Structure 1
């Protein structure tokens, strides 16, 4: 048969009718050839019935064409017709936008955390792009990364990007004095002693603000695999904590690790973020930060470790070191003197209830 013209403009039934006319066949003739009722052919020609794989095969056999020809003609027309439907195109544009948003950020989670405040898609788009410092989806990320992560061989995930973006957004809303490295170092050396009263953790945000450092708590994103981060925002060092690990000594060590990055001069005021997963094992700057954090946590050398450790010895040594017992337990676990499953950590204090006291002003959404 001749190739039909402008398939996108004409229903496949009209093209089939032209082919029957060219052959001099009536609808009844064609129905008889197909072994189908005349009504079947009539409904195909009028567009009331779609051509199926089976009927396309029969039409192809009758007219000496491929099955695919009639299915393709039908699909081409339907797609063209769909392209002329403005409401449908608006729906498809919305689907594309939702997909772009989901690639960039966990939309439902950001809404739950208050960083997205609207259900209107265009408003959500503006809010998410603003959070990432973008004007369009094609813009490069305004946040760079240097991190220690358990998935360090993989690209940074949308969850990790989003968590850091939330930390940065909240930090912009916080006030702090001019930064002083010396005052930060002096403050950091007192943290373990302050932890003898776990509730002191709630005061850390305001204490750090007096030395020019902004502390931000953004609850860990499920699957985010991050403990903390450090970055420069508007000339101020910023430390973000996720609370992952929950136990007071673990969160404190994360805080001190990020403090160490600042004291060691690892931060650059160029938009780069140091993301840390303290379960990962890396050398270089991370090992250097670990060593300083350990020294800040327990400045004195550990006492001689007895063959059998018990709570009485832990309490006694913690008192002599003037630190919270859980901090000593954490060090002993890290250095292999205590099992990670030791019963000595039963009912250990957690940091989350105190982190939740920190101010977390949300950015003003566009």
Structure 2
């Protein structure tokens, strides 16, 4: 009997009292008999058997002497039961919280691989709730609302559309997760100024070349820099914030941007770090929508504008009417010509459809298409094995179409 007890690993919610009841029945003892042997009241033994009273260290030692096995077995049995009971209660809570999903960009987070992609129905929604609680690092939707409601007070928006707290918080959280646990040096303003100056010279390079250098320069100055895919409902493509008094974060979305917008957005966020307070979260979407004017945003705009093209060049800037003139002017300033074109278009010196070929588009690097990925996708769509085989062969033969 002892050996059986020691290897007992139930996979259902069964209180330790079930094992106690089985053993006293085997011995033909009553609960009163067991109570006398344990030194407990009959009521307390009844509570133990029904899972209403926990097995403490003292009780486990007594059960070892009276019923056999080890105190460790009885304590493990108790812990196992309580854990499964808590899990069952948590699952019931998740079922009650499914309406929370309406506040969050669930589809976008699935598309980005943040949470598992699956159909949303009554059966799967509790599991999705559980995944999102882990993603946000909160115990319940109420804690999520409390935390992000207080964070919202620190938001400094550039657009009236930036009101979807669920989408904004999801995008911000992705940056937080990237930065968690990174022990970069403490923020040094002088070093960051030097870093920003060096980063300006990187505008001539491709993303593959400038990105690692850019991250390192920021890192050395105590600023974490990340690219996080956009969440459309957030209407936020850039953010500057302080994760703690010694660590700043600049978070951008690279997707779909031309290099003039990307660089202006980065230097705009850098201006917030250099010029403004540590308690605010600056949410920036510099394209489209009704812009909300504020002194801080005006200062950041002006700083980025003058940092890229100093004011002493304004007169010369207004005279640029050809691609060649723009290229030569860019060489003079040591920045990419696309940045010059963006400035000329923004200020109405040239139409918006002029010289766009001088800009570069930053696009996400597509995931490698493999036979396994295609197979998984087709199986999810309930395509037949024959169709899968044909599709895999087609991809192998003509992958350029992807």
Q: Show CA shifts across 1:300-341 (max 9, x none).
A: 532424656011100111111111111111122222212222
Question: For residues 196 and 347 of structure 1, do their structure 2 counterparts lie closer, same or farther at Cα, with a shift above 3 Å needed?
Answer: closer
Which has the greater radius of gyration? 1
Q: Show CA shifts across 1:146-169 (max 9, x none).
A: 2333325x7334212211122222
State the match for 2:157 in structure 1.
Answer: 148
Question: For residues 175 and 127 of structure 1, do their structure 2 counterparts lie closer, same or farther at Cα, with a shift above 3 Å needed?
Answer: farther
Runs of at least 5 residues in structure 1 that lack an aligned partner in the other structure: 1-89, 357-366
1:278 aligns with 2:282: no
Question: For residues 137 and 308 of structure 1, do their structure 2 counterparts lie closer, same or farther at Cα, with a shift above 3 Å needed?
Answer: closer
Check whether the contact 1:227–1:244 (CA below 8 A) recurs between aligned residues: no
Check whether the contact 1:217–1:355 (CA below 8 A) recurs between aligned residues: no
Question: For residues 227 and 157 of structure 1, do their structure 2 counterparts lie closer, same or farther at Cα, with a shift above 3 Å needed?
Answer: same
1:319 aligns with 2:318: no
In the superposition, the TM-score normalised over structure 2's length comes to 0.58
State the match for 1:177 in structure 2.
Answer: 185
State the match for 1:161 in structure 2.
Answer: 169
Question: For residues 249 and 100 of structure 1, do their structure 2 counterparts lie closer, same or farther at Cα, with a shift above 3 Å needed?
Answer: same
Report which of the two has the higher share of helix.
2
In the superposition, the TM-score normalised over structure 1's length comes to 0.63
Question: For residues 246 and 273 of structure 1, do their structure 2 counterparts lie closer, same or farther at Cα, with a shift above 3 Å needed?
Answer: same
Residue 316 of structure 2 aligns to a residue in which SS?
A: coil
Residue 239 of structure 2 aligns to a residue in which SS?
A: strand
Q: Show CA shifts across 1:217-250 (max 9, x none).
A: 1111133311201111143100110225510110
Residues 101-250 of structure 1 aligned to structure 2 (within 5 Å): 101-103=101-103, 105-117=104-116, 122=126, 124-139=128-143, 140-142=146-148, 143-144=151-152, 145-152=154-161, 155-199=163-207, 200-203=209-212, 204-234=214-244, 235-243=246-254, 246-250=257-261
Q: Cα distance, 1:258 vs. partner?
A: 0.8
Check whether the contact 2:260–2:359 (CA below 8 A) recurs between aligned residues: no
Check whether the contact 1:228–1:239 (CA below 8 A) recurs between aligned residues: yes
Q: How many residues align?
A: 261
Question: For residues 308 and 112 of structure 1, do their structure 2 counterparts lie closer, same or farther at Cα, with a shift above 3 Å needed?
Answer: closer
Q: Cα distance, 1:92 vs. partner?
A: 9.7
Question: For residues 339 and 354 of structure 1, do their structure 2 counterparts lie closer, same or farther at Cα, with a shift above 3 Å needed?
Answer: farther
Residue 250 of structure 2 aligns to a residue in which SS?
A: strand
Root mean square deviation, CA, Å? 3.0
In the alignment, the residues of structure 2 paired with residue 324 and residue 308 of structure 1 have an alpha-carbon distance, to the nearest angstrom, of 15
In the alignment, the residues of structure 2 paired with residue 314 and residue 281 of structure 1 have an alpha-carbon distance, to the nearest angstrom, of 31
Greater relative contact order (Cα 8 A, min sep 6): structure 1 or 2? 1
1:289 to 293, 300, 305: 300
Question: For residues 301 and 330 of structure 1, do their structure 2 counterparts lie closer, same or farther at Cα, with a shift above 3 Å needed?
Answer: farther
In the alignment, the residues of structure 2 paired with residue 163 and residue 348 of structure 1 have an alpha-carbon distance, to the nearest angstrom, of 27
In the alignment, the residues of structure 2 paired with residue 294 and residue 330 of structure 1 have an alpha-carbon distance, to the nearest angstrom, of 11
Check whether the contact 2:238–2:269 (CA below 8 A) recurs between aligned residues: yes
